[in-house]
Structure 1
Amino acid sequence: MDPKLLEILVCPVSKTKLIFDKEKQELISTSAHLAYPIRDGIPILLEDEARAISAEEADAFHKHKA
């Protein structure tokens, strides 16, 4: 994922920054508790396409980023 692109992308639901999960190829919104897929290098920032993540999973990403 291009770091410059990651700097400008935000969650369409919460309008907060996203965290790139390289292993799962997802962009994580810890505030909206959603994980947006990346398909063929293209982030799919649609709420309907995102998977819900648990509060624990969101906290783990939040702590990992810090």
Structure 2
Amino acid sequence: MAVQLDDQLMDILACPADHAPLRVGTAADPAADVLTCTACGLRYPVVDGIPVLLADEALPAEAAADGAGA
């Protein structure tokens, strides 16, 4: 299921690692339950509709053309 967050909330959320804006989903899966940093690519899980914006909980950036996923 795709993440559904209020547009105003998405306007203020930022990556805790480099303060860049976040986008919903990933390049490979726009419906993924994660928020992806537009700069560094770290993926932050969304659990029960709540973004977990902790650097320690972030998933690594996706490999470009690797095809390997977490």
**Common fold by TM > 0.5:** yes
Give % identity.
39
The structure in which a higher percent of residues are strand is 1
Q: CA deviation at 1:24?
A: 1.0
Instruction: Determine whether 1:14 maps to 2:18.
Output: yes
- Give me the TM-score of the superposition, normalised by structure 2: 0.71
Offset at residue 5 of structure 1 (A)? 0.4
Q: Mark the runs of 5 or more structure 2 residues left unpaired by the alignment.
A: 66-70
User: In structure 2, how many angstroms separate the alpha carbons of the residues matched to 1:25 and 1:54?
Assistant: 14
| AA partner of residue 37 (structure 1) | P
Question: CA shift at 1:49, angstroms?
Answer: 0.7
**Separation in structure 2 between the aligned mates of residue 17 and residue 4 of structure 1, nearest angstrom:** 13
Structure 1 unaligned blocks of 5 or more: 58-66
Scaled by the length of structure 1, the TM-score of the pair is 0.75
Aligned positions, number: 57
The Cα shift of 1:23 comes to 1.2
Greater Cα radius of gyration, structure 1 or 2: 2
Aligned CA-pair RMSD = 1.7
Q: Name 1:28's counterpart in structure 2.
A: 36
